[in-house]
A and B are shown apart, each in its own frame.
Chain A
Amino acid sequence: DAGITQSPRHKVTETGTPVTLRCHQTENHRYMYWYRQDPGHGLRLIHYSYGVKDTDKGEVSDGYSVSRSKTEDFLLTLESATSSQTSVYFCAISLAGGNNEQFFGPGTRLTVL
């Protein structure tokens, strides 16, 4: 998985609790992305980062926030988890943006009860 790890790999939580997912890369790639994958929707971009402390929203950013304090780490936070956020979350990295290869992590399966 191109030097990308995600933690935790599985998580079950309750509605209303905060959740943080971590993505860690050892490739020193500038861009990092968070996607969610749901049946019938494919992969949808939540947030992305183009450098340390530089982030922007994707198409499904409501209810999510991100932080990137180091090149290697990109955190996704659900401030108050809802059942609609039950999904598989993938982190991806890219050397130089959308017109370059993106490599994906193994995913985190999140269930919100």
Chain B
Amino acid sequence: GENVEQHPSTLSVQEGDSAVIKCTYSDSASNYFPWYKQELGKGPQLIIDIRSNVGEKKDQRIAVTLNKTAKHFSLHITETQPEDSAVYFCAAENSGYALNFGKGTSLLVTP
């Protein structure tokens, strides 16, 4: 399938700081880019998504930006809290039927 590269693989920030996770994709036909948060022992949970007709979307402390020309998109978490600690996955639409996922970023927010 098409590749989705995600960086960094681990990220440690102090409470209150911002966290940024970046992804690149290869399929120029992709038009849908969701982000998932996975807590230990649970399934991934959709936290925000963006479609190719917009460049940025925000939901409280979480925002996602998309640059279709460069084929990259990013997740921004502001004012991080310990409960934001989790593994985050980006994904890109694959031919209209499925998603290709990045390998995940383990975020640790220290008090």
Contact = CB atoms under 8 A, between A and B. Distances in A.
B100 to A, nearest CB: 8
Nearest to A58: B98
Contacts of A42: 6, 89, 101-104
Interface residues of A, number: 26
Interface string B94-110: 11111111111000000
A107 B103 CA distance: 17
Q: What is the predominant secondary structure among interface residues of chain B facing chain A? A: strand
A99 B46 contact: no
Interface of B: 1, 6, 31-32, 34, 36, 42-46, 49, 51, 89, 93-104
Given A1-B43, A42-B6, A101-B46, 6 more contacts: A40-B103, A42-B102, A45-B98, A99-B93, A106-B42, A107-B42
